[in-house]
Amino acid sequence: MNQIKGIIFDYGQTIHNSNEGGFVPNLEKMLEYLGLKYKLALVSITVSETPQERRKKLDKQNVSKYFEQILLVRHEDKSFALQEVIDKWHLLPQQVAVVGDEVSKEIAWGNKNGCLTVWLQHGKFANILPNDETGQPAYTICDLKELLDIF
């Protein structure tokens, strides 16, 4: 993990799961710990609410402060936002980890662009498995707290 300098998180079903009551347990402690060693960013598609509403949730949960970048996009393709984070950090893709629950989106993008990928196999996309098109994630976890064992 020495070469990893930044971690990009997905929002929906990764750090926040509205079906299970909101943000994952102990999120703030985990982000605080990871933030001591890595740059952290959040990239999220905001379809069910406005970017302002999503930002309020992050602020209310007291987690915004851990992210150097928060990109909230209003359309289905967040690949440009993922690339924007890496560009703003002036890092190589190999120095960035992408954490998300959707193999066909953030994990596929990370694999195609040379990032380390961590698939949170949880929630509504848990049964949509990696394939030749998406590539295999470097790590598969079932609970976000498992990140502490990786990083």
Buried/exposed code over 16-31 (b: 16+ C-beta within 10 A; e: otherwise): bbeeeeebbeebeebb
pLDDT at residue 11 is higher than 70: yes
% of the chain surpassing 90 pLDDT: 80
For 116-134, write each residue's pLDDT tens digit: 999 999 888 899 999 999 9
Residue 81 per-residue DSSP state: H
Distance CA(101)–CA(137), nearest Å, equals: 11
Residue 20 lies in a domain: yes
Predicted local distance difference test score (pLDDT) of residue 1: 58
Residue 13 lies in a domain: yes
What global pTM score does this model have? 0.95
pLDDT at residue 77 is higher than 90: no
Which domain covers residue 12, as residue numbers?
A: 6-150
Q: What is the mean pLDDT of residues 89-103?
A: 97
Residue 1 lies in a domain: no
Query: For the chain, what is the domain count?
Result: 1
Residue 61 lies in a domain: yes
Mark residue 58 as left, alpha or beta (left: phi above 0; alpha: psi -120 to 50; beta: remaining).
alpha
Residue 113 lies in a domain: yes
Residue 49 lies in a domain: yes
Residue 27 lies in a domain: yes
Predicted local distance difference test score (pLDDT) of residue 17: 84
% of the chain surpassing 70 pLDDT: 99
pLDDT at residue 2 is higher than 70: no
What CATH number is associated with residue 67? 3.40.50.1000
Predicted local distance difference test score (pLDDT) of residue 116: 98
